Structure 1
Amino acid sequence: MAALIESMRMCYALPIRGFRRLLEDTTLHGYRLPANTAVLINNWSVHMDKEHWGDPEVYRPERFITETGLLREDDTFLPFGLGRRRCMGEQLAKSFLFQTFAGVLQKFQLVPADGTDLKVTALGGFNLAPKTYDIIFKSR
């Protein structure tokens, strides 16, 4: 599960979360934002914050494991949003990802094809998608 969470932290589908509207005048980090201002939430800046994660560009699932080996929650991990507008399908998505990931790894060893570069690279746009690469599924 920690490997899936770290993967979602680094490779999220929506780098910028939908519009929100301020209901009242607000001050944020010294900037005055009047009521009715449209605000976007930058997931990339949260999930790749060096102050919080230390080395956010490095894949380290152990970030989400406690010293006793339990799964650790992190309030800065927000792939499904936050608050009242949090994704309603979060539990379904997490269950589906886990079952699919575990099912594939139970039956196959995933090996990159010759010459395949597996560096994390996303094709940009409104949402992110991984670049195409070749993987060989070897039966276990």
Structure 2
Amino acid sequence: MIAYPDIQSRVQYEIDSVVGRNSLPRVNDKLPFTEATIMEVQRIASTVPMGVPHAAAADTTLRGYFIPKGTMILSNLWAIHHDQDTWDEPEKFKPERFLDSKGDVCYRNEYVPFSTGRRACLGENLAKMELFVYFTHLLHQFSFKKPDASPPITFESTFGTTNAPLPYELIVTKR
């Protein structure tokens, strides 16, 4: 949110309008722009860049390629989330891509932050609820900004099983 203060303000406005300042957001609160923002963070960051390994259950051919039974198959989630044929300007942070014309959240098959297939992350529903609660509680209570004298914001990360952000500085202010 320090890179996109206008988005942070919109999320805080939505939380304040729906929940108010005297109670904390709950999982069942309808906050479509906030939810779309969380989804866009997951899409653009691709925290887990490679999906869970799968094995081909039988010999098969996919798009002209023969895949023998037992072949390990990995989904490149980062590539799926940054595919220019799928996402309009995939390098840009645009939560609106997850909202329909009425402002409701719309889900896309290409949005796969928890892996693909029948054996995607078992904890997906719990993780979504936890992300929503943490994110909304933080933005309900605090504002975040980059210190004026700090280095420019970068979205580079260390690559591994998960993408971890490089060190950065921020100012947290109680709302």
Give the structure-1-normalised TM-score.
0.93
Q: Secondary structure at the match of 2:109?
A: coil
One-letter amino acid matched to 1:34? P
Deviations for 1:42-62, whole angstroms, at most 9, x for unmatched residues? 111111110000211110000
- Structure 2: gaps spanning 5 or more residues: 1-34
Cα distance between partner residues in 1 of 2:51 and 2:147: 35
One-letter amino acid matched to 1:98? F
Q: Secondary structure at the match of 1:3?
A: helix
Cα deviation, residue 84, structure 1: 2.5
Match of 1:36 among 59, 64, 70: 70
1:70 paired to 2:104: yes
Cα deviation, residue 13, structure 1: 2.2
- Paired residues in the alignment total 140
Deviations for 1:44-87, whole angstroms, at most 9, x for unmatched residues? 11111100002111100000001100001111001112332121
Cα deviation, residue 26, structure 1: 1.3
Q: Secondary structure at the match of 1:32?
A: strand
Cα deviation, residue 118, structure 1: 2.2
Cα distance between partner residues in 2 of 1:37 and 1:107: 49
Match for residue 156 of structure 2?
Answer: 121
1:8 paired to 2:46: no
Cα deviation, residue 93, structure 1: 0.9
Deviations for 1:90-121, whole angstroms, at most 9, x for unmatched residues? 11111111111111111111111122422322
- Structure 1: gaps spanning 5 or more residues: none
Give the structure-2-normalised TM-score.
0.75
Deviation >6 Å, runs of 4+ = none
Cα distance between partner residues in 2 of 1:135 and 1:85: 37
Higher share of residues assigned strand: 1
Moved more, 91-100 or 55-64: 91-100
Q: Counterparts in 2 of 1:1-140, with a 5 A limit?
A: 1-114=35-148, 115-140=150-175
Match for residue 22 of structure 2?
Answer: none
**Aligned-pair Cα RMSD in Å:** 1.3
Cα distance between partner residues in 2 of 1:65 and 1:118: 27
